């Protein structure tokens, strides 16, 4: 049974979008309306892969098909399978029509500002999911927009045909296997004054957009982003975390975050975004017998280099023993 703060849903439809991406339509378990949300929102999906324990994955709410909104009793998400990541692989292997699971209410940390004189949407790979919801909203409200969608190849880009149909002449579909990397500086330079950019995708794309915007003199507030945490690199190792205050030793598996290991061991660490962006989960490092792999976007370069703290939701130890000031 889901906890009181969670919502019980059932998978009502599964659609294969690309060889690695599946769309899941989730319906309220009791048939009642689900909480309302706006473009840019996401939900937390609770899963329990074997050998990991309960963990959480974040998925953006797509909102509907090209022109038809999902009803109030359904949520639509798309999941890209990463073979090294137990979460997405577990979802692909186990979720089918009729499967039951627990989710959170929608959260929105990537809000589309309806006051923009023009909105430029930039999506990279699976980062299309919140951007597609924004595109649908802008088209429905007849607001000025531009749309750039980039990926390794067209066959790997979910919703690419729908994006082209919805955005029409405003769509710029860029496949890396045909034209190299997207020239984000040229894209931004072509925009009228006061355009706001919304970018979602891998860190390299977000960094490129922010760097180009800075070079062009854009106000930093004109670029809004949401990062899709990269999948495991394959060199993750299991290690022990020792909590100094209690002396408790907790095993962190190669496929488990420190945060989830702490929670599964009965600890109650502070956290929110689970993507290394909000700044709630950093804990002090007292000892580490190996280098820290920092994967957050919250700590400064100096803080990371000091080796005195890490964001437990995404960062890891390349060693065997980590002592935290907790």
Select the more confidently predicted residue: 1 or 214. 214
pLDDT beyond 60 at 294: yes
Cα–Cα dist 231/215, whole Å: 30
Mean per-residue pLDDT for 250-276?
88
Rounded to an integer, the average pLDDT of 215-235 is 82
Domains of the chain (ranges, CATH numbers): 7-103 (2.40.30.10), 119-227 (3.40.50.80), 239-324 (3.10.20.30)
Express each pLDDT in 129-162 by its tens digit: 999 999 999 999 999 999 999 999 999 999 999 9
Q: How big is the chain by its Cα radius of gyration, in Å?
A: 20
User: What's the chain look like in SS3?
Assistant: CCCCCCEEEEEEEEEECCCCEEEEEEEECCCCCCCCCCCCCEEEEEECCCCCCCEEEEEECCCECCCCECCCCEEEEEEECCCCCHHHHHHHHHCCCCCEEEECCCECCCCCCCCCCCEEEEEEHHHHHHHHHHHHHHHHHCCCEEEEEEECCHHHCCCHHHHHHHHHHHEEEEEHHHHCCCCHHHHHHCCCCCCEEEEEECHHHHHHHHHHHHHCCCCHHHEEEEECCCCCCCCCCCEEEEECCCCCEEEECCCCCHHHHHHHCCCCCCCCCCCCCCCCCEEEEEEECCCEECCCCCCCHHHHHHCCEEECCCCEECCCEEEECC
Residue 301: pLDDT above 70?
Answer: yes
Q: What is the pLDDT of residue 231?
A: 57
In the predicted structure, residue 247 carries a pLDDT above the cut 70? yes
Q: Would the pLDDT of 308 be above 70?
A: yes
Structure confidence by residue, pLDDT tens digits, 51-104: 566 778 899 999 999 989 999 999 999 999 987 656 788 899 999 999 999 999
pLDDT at 1 over 50: no
For the stretch 94-99, contacts whose Cβ atoms lie closer than 8 Å and that sit 24 or more positions apart, written own/partner, are: 95/11, 95/14, 95/24, 96/11, 96/14, 97/11, 97/12, 97/13, 97/14, 98/10, 98/11, 99/10, 99/11
Distance from chain centroid for Cα 113:
20
Share above pLDDT 70 across residues of the chain, in percent, rounded to a whole number: 94
Average pLDDT, the chain: 92
Other CB atoms closer than 10 Å to residue 218's CB: what's the count? 20
The pLDDT assigned to 272 comes to: 82
Share of the chain above pLDDT 90, in %: 78
**Of 254, 234, 317, which Cα lies nearest the Cα of 51?**
254
- 53 within 8 A of 90, measured Cβ to Cβ: no
Cross-strand bridge partners of residue 53:
none
Residue 128's pLDDT band (cuts 50, 70, 90) = very high
Question: Would you place residue 234 in the very low, low, confident or very high pLDDT band (cuts 50, 70, 90)?
Answer: low
Per-residue pLDDT of 25-60, as tens digits, reads 999 988 899 999 999 999 999 988 765 667 788 999
pLDDT at residue number 85: 59
**Is residue 139 within 8 Å of 166, Cβ to Cβ?**
yes
272 vs 23: which has the higher pLDDT: 23
């Amino acid at each position: 049974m889901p906890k009181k703060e969670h919502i019980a849903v059932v998978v009502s439809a599964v659609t294969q979008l690309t060889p690695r991406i599946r769309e899941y339509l989730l319906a309220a378990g009791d048939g009642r309306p689900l909480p309302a949300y706006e473009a840019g929102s996401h939900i937390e999906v609770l899963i329990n892969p074997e050998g990991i324990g309960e963990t959480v994955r974040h998925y953006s709410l797509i909102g509907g098909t090209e022109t038809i909104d999902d009803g109030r009793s359904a949520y639509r998400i798309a999941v890209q399978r990463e073979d090294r990541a137990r979460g997405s692989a577990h979802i692909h292997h186990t979720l089918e029509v009729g499967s039951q699971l627990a989710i959170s209410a929608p959260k929105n940390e990537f809000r589309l500002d309806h006051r923009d004189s023009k909105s430029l949407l930039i999506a990279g790979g699976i980062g299309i999911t919140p951007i597609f919801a924004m595109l649908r909203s802008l088209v429905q409200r007849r607001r000025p927009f531009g749309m750039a969608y980039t990926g390794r190849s067209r066959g790997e880009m979910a919703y690419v045909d729908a994006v082209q149909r919805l955005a029409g002449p405003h769509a710029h579909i860029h496949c890396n296997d045909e034209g190299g990397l997207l020239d984000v500086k040229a894209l931004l330079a072509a925009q009228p004054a006061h355009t706001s950019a919304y970018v979602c995708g891998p860190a390299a794309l977000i960094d490129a957009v922010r760097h180009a915007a800075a070079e062009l003199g854009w106000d930093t507030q004109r670029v809004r982003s949401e990062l899709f945490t990269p999948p495991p690199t394959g060199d993750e190792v299991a290690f022990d975390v020792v909590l100094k205050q209690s002396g408790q030793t907790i095993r962190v598996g190669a496929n488990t975050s420190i945060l989830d290991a702490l929670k599964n061991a009965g600890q109650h660490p502070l956290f929110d975004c689970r993507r290394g962006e909000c700044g709630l989960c950093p804990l002090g490092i007292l000892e580490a017998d190996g280098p820290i792999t920092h994967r957050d976007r919250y700590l400064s370069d100096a803080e990371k280099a000091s080796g005195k703290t890490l964001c437990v939701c995404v960062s890891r130890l390349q060693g065997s023993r980590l002592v935290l000031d907790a």
